């Protein structure tokens, strides 16, 4: 049994001294230090729970007492769950799920509510609704390269969609998609003032969604980078002002926008310069082995400011409604350059000063640090070592890099603190490697459990990262949590990176949803969320008073040419009207307004068998349209326990049979 002796780190915790004093029932004031002795109560608690001194130290750094808020909010992708997760840091409490690519009944998102159904329909592919998405990379809106807390954008890899989520109410406002591309991965990434949201395809296919035999892969299959124009005033992407650049049929991977000195450029890496397209039952090598034959792939460097000029000058062709700069034009006009990068790279991350581009090697043991200054100089001097088969100029690898950091097995993604250190996830080795950007030397490795993918540091993608916290987003959980069958959660591990030296593991948090890929962590006080919708009857998508908003005493039922309209209000603890009579086969339009203006006084509206569930937050207006095609008696009720008479907040839809 080890005797508990507070270390300097423990004693230096601001929380520690008061806790020790309180626990000792007063004790001697004297600034904590080595003199602060834990009470018998704390010692026995530690013994009973088998906690070490390091455990208690970690607990003190993450424990967030009742009523206290977290310093940071992390927005994590919910992977193929299609939802966005909001997590408090350092407590690692899940605060919200935001329905984005998937209907979310609790929020009344696309489960009958017309406004949100339309948002989801914005992402329809080839005329069909898609009710799930594979969310990979959230990107907070930026002003001057810093997160501004207004919006967050996310990409759906499977269906090539990008969504806009408003952070005044954490609602998905818009989903856009272009059939130009059939998948994405380099999405979503924003330029430093959120002029553009970048979405880059992953798996090459004929542009626009047509068919071409796979044997014509090199000739007919292409990638593309879409630059979605964001209209901050309207809080919407403007598809008509958006454009794309055609790319060769390599598999473009992650992207990042330049900042400060490299503002105006975007970078994305790629795998499969071999242009392997599989066929392992047809006598060709499998896609995977064919794609990893060569030693180098291509880092794509895009001068998007120049591309923007070409678009303005009309140097585009239009494919499925999207203006596209052809590969030929992009290569000839100095928009697109390639730099070789080590075998099967994965992450590409721009340093906070915008000077360097860090690429993780995946099948290489290095993080390669490319110099923007060198790349830009070679590009403008037209100093090329050759061209790829599509005429894209290639710069010399050695002349483009500042150096390489020997990281370990399988470096993927990199984040930064504000103190000159980079943190790279090392997938195969299952560690986070902390290394110095100055001399490119690893200073510490912290084991992860297990197989880390992305990592996310406080304000980590901005021009001024905070350091402090890092989250390792681990792909496997294995023995970390209670067994729950073969499908296990993933494990987000919170790491203290505040010190100049070693990193410290603080907390394990299971993520029982999708496969979260990436996250961004923002200072919580940057987010100005509303407490309720005002004025009463606000449509949460337009943020304007809805034309069908219903105030108290305006409730009514009218029969019109297009069906039965019900203008309804919800308030603690009744719906008005609470009796709705219709005939079988009639179309029913419900216009429901919560006339509440009280914080957290949310009502729900569930109409079972008709597949309708709404969340009617205070002041929110919801519309529903359905055909009453089943005769019978259908209760509707409030799904949020809103008051002592919540159970009585109900009514009946009476559908009278035709005959
Ligand atoms: S990816 Cu998942 S670990 Cu989609 Cu950014 Cu690298
Ligand atoms: Cu309203 Cu329960």
Distances (CA, A) of 415 to 148, 420, 432: 19, 11, 10
Per-residue pLDDT at 37: 62
Mean of pLDDT values over 157-181: 98
- In the DSSP assignment, the letter for residue 80 is T
Query: Is any atom of ligand 2 closer than 6 Å to the C-beta of 642?
Result: yes
Mode of pairing for the β-strands spanning 336-342 and 296-303: antiparallel
Cis before residue 450, ω within 30 degrees of 0?
yes
The reply to whether 458 falls in a domain is: yes
496: in domain: yes
Same domain, 415 and 508: yes
Q: Judge whether 270 lies within some domain.
A: yes
Ligand 2 atom closest to 646 (CA): 2
CATH number, domain with residue 410: 2.130.10.10
Distance CA 422, CA 650 (A): 56
If you average pLDDT over residues 494-498, what whole number do you get? 98
Residue 18 predicted with pLDDT over 90: no
Report the domain count for the chain.
Answer: 3
Q: Of 135-139, 274-278, 313-317, which range is least confident?
A: 274-278
Reported confidence tier of residue 288, pLDDT bands at 50, 70, 90: confident
Q: Counting ligands in written order, which one lies closest to the CA of residue 650?
A: 2
Q: In the listed set 471, 506, 526, which residue is the last one of a domain according to the structure? A: 526
Residues 229 and 342 in one domain: yes
Ligand nearest to the CA of 517: 1
For residues 144 and 52, state if they share a domain.
Answer: no
Ligand 1, residue 412: give the atom nearest the CA: 6
Q: What's phi and psi for 156, nearest 5 deg? A: -115, 105
Q: State whether 513 and 608 are in the same domain.
A: no
Q: What is the pLDDT of residue 295?
A: 83
Same-domain status, 307 and 383:
yes
Q: Give the ligand whose atoms come closest to the C-alpha of residue 156.
A: 1
Looking at ligand 1, which atom is closest to the CA of residue 475? Answer: 3
The pair of three-digit structure tokens given for residue 256, joined into one six-digit string? 């990042």
Domain that holds residue 554: 538-656
pLDDT digits (tens, 9 = 90+) for 628-645: 999 999 999 999 999 999
Residue 244 lies in a domain: yes
Whole-Å CA distances, 232 to 70, 191, 196, 418: 28, 13, 10, 28
Range 519-547 average pLDDT: 98
Task: Specify whether 549 is located in the same domain as 494.
Answer: no
Q: Are residues 54 and 179 in the same domain?
A: no
Mean pLDDT of the chain: 93
Residue 107, domain member (yes or no): yes
Q: Could you tell me if the CB of 574 is within 6 A of ligand 2?
A: no
How many whole angstroms from its chain centre is CA 181?
Answer: 20
Using 50, 70 and 90 to split pLDDT, how confident is the model at 291? confident
- CA of 127 relative to ligand 2 center, distance in Å: 37
Give 649 Cα–ligand 2 centroid separation in angstroms.
Answer: 6
Q: How far apart are CA 166 and CA 168, in angstroms?
A: 6
CA dist 594 and 616 (Å) reads 6
Q: Does pTM surpass 0.75?
A: yes
Considering the domain architecture, whether residues 351 and 475 belong to the same structural domain is answered as yes
Q: What percent of the chain has pLDDT over 90?
A: 91
């Amino acid at each position: 049994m080890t005797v508990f002796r507070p270390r300097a780190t423990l004693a230096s915790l601001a929380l520690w001294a008061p806790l020790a004093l309180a626990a000792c029932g007063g004790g001697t004031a004297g600034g904590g230090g080595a003199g602060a002795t834990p009470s018998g109560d704390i010692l026995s608690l530690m013994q009973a729970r088998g906690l070490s001194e390091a455990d208690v130290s970690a607990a003190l750094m993450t424990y967030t007492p009742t009523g206290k808020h977290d310093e940071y909010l992390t927005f994590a992708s919910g992977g193929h769950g299609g939802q966005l997760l909001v997590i408090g840091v350092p407590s690692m409490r899940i605060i919200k799920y935001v329905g984005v690519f998937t209907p979310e009944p609790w929020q009344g998102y696309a489960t009958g509510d017309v406004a949100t159904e339309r948002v989801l329909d914005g992402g329809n592919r080839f005329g069909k609704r898609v009710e799930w998405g594979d969310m990979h990379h959230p990107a907070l809106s930026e002003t001057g390269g810093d997160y501004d807390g207004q919006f967050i954008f996310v990409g759906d890899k499977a269906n090539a969609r990008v969504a806009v989520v408003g952070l005044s109410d954490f609602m998905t406002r818009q989903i856009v998609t272009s059939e130009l591309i059939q998948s994405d991965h380099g999405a979503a990434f924003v330029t430093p003032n959120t002029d553009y949201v970048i979405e880059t395809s992953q798996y090459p296919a004929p542009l626009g969604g047509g068919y071409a035999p796979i044997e014509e892969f090199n000739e007919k299959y292409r990638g593309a980078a879409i630059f979605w124009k964001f209209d901050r005033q309207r809080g919407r992407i403007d598809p008509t002002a958006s454009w794309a650049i055609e790319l060769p049929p390599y598999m473009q991977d992650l992207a990042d926008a330049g900042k400060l000195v490299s503002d105006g450029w975007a970078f994305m890496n790629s795998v499969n310069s071999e242009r392997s397209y599989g066929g392992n039952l047809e006598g060709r090598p499998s896609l995977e082995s064919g794609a990893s034959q060569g030693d180098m792939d291509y880092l794509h460097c895009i001068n998007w400011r120049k591309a923007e000029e070409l678009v303005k000058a009309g140097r585009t062709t239009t494919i499925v409604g999207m203006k596209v700069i052809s590969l030929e034009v992009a290569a000839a006009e100095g928009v697109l350059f390639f730099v070789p990068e080590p075998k099967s790279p994965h992450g590409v991350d721009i340093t906070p000063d915008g000077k360097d581009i860090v690429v993780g090697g995946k099948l290489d043991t290095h993080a390669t640090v490319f110099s923007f200054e060198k790349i830009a100089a070679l590009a403008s001097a037209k100093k090329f070592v050759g061209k790829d088969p599509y005429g894209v100029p290639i710069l010399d690898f050695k002349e483009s890099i500042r150096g390489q950091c020997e990281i370990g097995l399988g470096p993927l993604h990199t984040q930064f603190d504000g103190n000159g250190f980079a943190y790279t996830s090392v997938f195969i080795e299952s560690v986070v490697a902390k290394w110095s950007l100055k001399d490119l030397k690893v200073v510490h490795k912290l084991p992860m459990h297990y197989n880390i993918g992305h990592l996310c540091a406080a304000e980590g993608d901005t021009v001024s990262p905070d350091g402090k916290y890092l989250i390792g987003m681990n792909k496997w959980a294995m023995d970390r949590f209670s067994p729950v069958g073969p499908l296990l959660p993933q494990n987000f591990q919170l790491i203290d990176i505040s010190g100049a030296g070693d990193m410290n593991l603080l907390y394990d948090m299971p993520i029982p949803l999708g496969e979260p890929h990436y996250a961004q962590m923002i200072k919580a006080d940057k987010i100005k969320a509303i407490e309720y919708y005002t004025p009463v009857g606000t449509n949460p998508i337009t943020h304007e008073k809805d034309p069908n908003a219903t105030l108290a005493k305006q409730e009514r039922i009218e029969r019109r040419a297009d069906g039965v309209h019900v203008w309804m209000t919800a308030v603690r603890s009744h719906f008005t009207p609470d009796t709705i009579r219709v005939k079988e086969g009639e179309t029913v339009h419900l216009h429901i307004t919560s006339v509440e203006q009280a914080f957290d006084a949310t009502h729900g509206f569930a109409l079972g068998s008709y597949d309708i569930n709404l969340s009617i937050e205070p002041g929110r207006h919801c519309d529903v349209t359905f055909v009453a095609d089943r005769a019978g008696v259908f209760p509707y009720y409030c799904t949020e326990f809103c008051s002592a008479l919540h159970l009585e907040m109900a009514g009946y839809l009476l559908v009278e049979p035709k005959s």
